[in-house]
Amino acid sequence: MAHKPGQQRFHKLRHRRGPAGSGPRTGPRRRPTKTAHPAFKNRPKSRPEKTTRKPANKPGPRPEDQFEEEPEAERDTDLIAGDWTETGEGDEGLDEGLMDEAGVSVDDVSDVMDADAAEKEPETNDAVLDATWGSGQAPAEEEGPQGRIPMVAIVGRPNVGKSSLFNRIARSRIAIEDPLPGTTRDRVSTLVRFHAAGIERVIELFDTAGIGVVDEARVEEHVHEQIQFGIAGADVVVFLTDAKSGPLALDRVAAEMLRRTGKPVVLVANKADADTQDELAGAFYELGLGEPLPVSAKQARNIGALMKAVAEKLPPRARAEKLERPELMLAIVGRRNAGKSSVVNTLAADNRVIVSEMEGTTRDSVDVRFEYNGKRFVAIDTAGVRRKSSLANSVEFYSQSRSFRAIRRAHVVVLLVDAREPVSKIERDLVEACLHEHKPVIIGVNKWDLTGGKITTDKFEKYFRRRLGKISYAPIVFMSAKTALNVFAMVDLAMELHAQAGTRVGTGELNRVINAAYEKHHPQPRKSKLGRLFYATQFQTYPPTIILFVNDPTLFPDNWRLYLQKQLQEHTPFAEVPINLILRARERVVLDKDKL
């Protein structure tokens, strides 16, 4: 159903509204009125309200200042299919007539594109990496039934280096590495492609929690359940031990459990950092799981031999064993206990990640693959974000940093909020992160079934538009992960936003819209100098990026740029996605008279 730009669209599933297209206000600015959360309007006035006033004393050092961000693991291989993002060709659709009239050449646009690309740090897709261990010969012809991608699970007691080995094979810092026992809780996974004996194999590698020790009793049952799920679904189990400590009681318990499963097991003795320590692996023969293989995840020793041993125990190669680009990567972000893991489990139709009433259950960012309408998607479950001053240790710091990294990796971000809780600074910080990365955002109002139907969607819509004004264009979905209400409607909506972000607008139409917006409202002169527009072109999609050549970018203040973005959203197909607007000065060409 077609809708005019800027027209409010509402039905039982969601609210959608384009941005207002009016220019900046004139005259004195009125102080904005505070909008109360609809669920709290009828509270007795005697109830003390929560204050946001900062204490007078100077705050102490923040906990995260004690830690440094983890450096990315070194890679000597390339990504498979890059970032799962697509960009348009730089010179496609350029109107040379308009460019000549504006005095801008194709080389000028190309120079801007090259400079902008150089400023962007190449982003890593943590989900799929090409970890080539072995000869690297051409892959064999695909044979065998359709099948599925084989699964390999890394199991063992706590603190033997499972997450370190997982990151080493994936060649990326995906799982959190920390000396704290029980750091890993969920099954963290990634797809890995490698070569063994001249045959290319693709596996889904799982990192699991430590067997026997859980740092929090309230999630102990869930953690053990995830370990069992990981072992039950694995085609090959990598049983990791510590060569330096030798066999311990928990190693023997885990070995007995693996023998009962009948799964193919590769026994690995980690932390053999030098050749002189290889003989320590001999102590693990007593576990009765075959010859132990000494490796070092820290020093990358014998990783190729490990992958060869894994390949020998894998089932025959199937046609489905290949890397395919997902249709969409959807990051679910929000504060703690908003229901992110429940939403992911509903999408996957499985208890893929732990769901608990305890705050901070999720630590790693977990990629969960699922299919919907015959298409493959990836939902990224993230740790709940909290105030930086509340971070207690390095694990929470790294968990939060991965949540923000998931925003960079995703095509579309779902900002999940609890319908019963007011919007806080946490949601506004997440909005800023999404705007910084120019990611389309869906506001998911979860736990809608718990509101009792006493509050209308109109009141909630008005509240969220006011509190999250910077993304007033973002659609809102009222949903419930518990009852699956509108969960898959959210996926349909995400596909629509992704399609908007991939739209290309013709250069002529783009310049007409921008010139009309300029004639309607131009920036105020500064020092008797008026900002002038020359030429605009869209050179990239995902996000839609527009280069605007002007006489002086400093003559165009932020409020006018925001006005222009809203005008573009109103009159172009980008009604519900952010636009990356780049203003560049047109360089004057000084002719050399001697060469004339």
Q: What is the DSSP-derived secondary structure letter of residue 517?
A: H
59, HSE (Cβ side, Cα atoms, 13 Å): 10
In sequence order, the 6+-apart residues with CB closer than 8 A to the CB of 210 are 156, 157, 158, 159, 160, 162, 181, 182, 184
Q: Give yes or no for a contact between 369 and 350, defined as CB atoms under 8 angstroms apart.
A: no
Top-level CATH class of 328-501?
Answer: alpha beta
Continuous segment of H or E residues that includes residue 528: none
First-last CA distance in the chain:
59
CA–CA separation, 250 and 253 (whole Å): 5
Alpha carbon distances (Å) from 290 to 154, 239, 279, 281, 286: 17, 11, 15, 11, 9
CA atoms of 386 and 51, how far apart (whole Å): 17
Between the alpha carbon of residue 92 and those of residues 235, 538, 550, 580, the distances in Å are 47, 9, 21, 18
Residue at token pair 């020093």 = 299
Q: Same CATH topology for 87-124+502-596 and 128-313?
A: no
Residue 352, CA distances (Å) to 176, 185, 370 in order: 18, 11, 11
| Rounded Cα distance, 498 and 486, in Å | 18
Specify whether the CB–CB gap between 294 and 240 falls below 8 A: no
Question: Would you say 380 and 366 are in contact if contact means Cβ atoms under 8 Å apart?
Answer: yes
Q: Which of 205, 213, 207 is nearest to 157 (CA)?
A: 213
Beta-carbon contacts of 237 under 8 Å, excluding residues fewer than 6 positions away, are 152, 153, 155, 231, 258, 261, 263, 264, 265, 266
- pLDDT tens, the chain, 596 aa long: 454 444 444 444 545 554 444 444 444 555 555 556 666 555 444 443 343 333 334 444 433 343 344 444 433 333 332 333 333 333 344 444 544 554 555 455 455 444 444 444 434 333 333 444 443 333 344 444 567 899 999 999 888 999 899 999 998 888 877 766 666 667 888 999 998 877 889 999 998 888 876 555 566 677 777 888 888 889 999 999 999 999 999 999 899 999 999 999 999 999 999 999 999 999 999 999 999 999 999 999 999 999 999 999 999 988 888 888 899 999 999 998 888 989 999 999 888 776 766 666 666 678 999 999 999 999 998 887 877 766 666 767 777 888 899 999 999 999 999 999 999 999 999 999 999 999 999 999 999 998 887 788 999 899 998 999 899 999 999 999 999 999 999 999 999 999 999 999 999 999 999 999 999 998 999 888 999 999 999 989 999 999 999 999 999 999 999 999 999 999 999 999 999 999 999 865 555 556 54
CA dihedral 178, 180, 181, 186 (to 10 degrees): -50
Which of 569, 443, 467 has its CA nearest to residue 20?
Answer: 569
Pairing type for strands 293-294 and 128-130 reads: unpaired
From residue 158, how far is each of 16, 154, 214, 240, 269 by CA, in Å?
48, 12, 9, 10, 14
Is residue 82 classed exposed, middle or buried when 0-12, 13-18 and 19+ CB atoms within 10 A define those classes?
Answer: middle
pLDDT attached to residue 383 = 82
Alpha-carbon gap, residue 372 to 146, rounded angstroms: 19
Q: Give the three-class secondary structure for 305.
A: helix
* Architecture field, domain 128-313: 3-Layer(aba) Sandwich (3.40)
**Token duo for residue 152:** 């390999």
- Give dist(CA 327, CA 377) in Å, integer: 5
Helices assigned H by DSSP within 502-557 = 507-520
Closest by Cα among 98, 123, 118, 116 to 581: 116
Q: Would you state the pLDDT for residue 400?
A: 82
Domain ranges of the chain: 87-124+502-596, 128-313, 328-501
pLDDT, position 569: 95
Check: CB of residue 159 under 8 Å from CB of residue 215: no
β-strands 199-207, 188-196: how paired? Answer: antiparallel
Contacts of 438 (CB under 8 A, 6+ apart): 543, 545, 578, 579, 580
What CATH number does the domain located at 87-124+502-596 have? Answer: 3.30.300.20
Q: Can you tell me the distance from the alpha carbon of 562 to that of 558, in angstroms, rounded to the nearest whole number?
A: 6
List b or e across 474-485, with b for residues whose CB sees 16 or more CB atoms inside 10 angstroms.
bbbbbbbbbeeb
Q: What is the DSSP string of 251-284?
A: HHHHHHHHHHHT--EEEEEE---SGGGGGGGGGG
Contacts of 492 (CB under 8 A, 6+ apart): none
pLDDT at 532: 92
Q: How many residues does the chain have?
A: 596
User: What is the model's pLDDT at position 474?
Assistant: 96
Token pair recorded at residue 448: 């809608």
Question: What is the pLDDT, as a whole number, of residue 105?
Answer: 53
β-pair type (128-130, 533-540) = unpaired
Identify the three-state secondary structure at position 173.
coil
Looking at residue 137, its pLDDT comes to 39
Which residue type occupies 271? Answer: K
Q: Are 272 and 292 in contact (CB under 8 A)?
A: no
Residue 463 to residue 468: CA distance in whole angstroms? 8
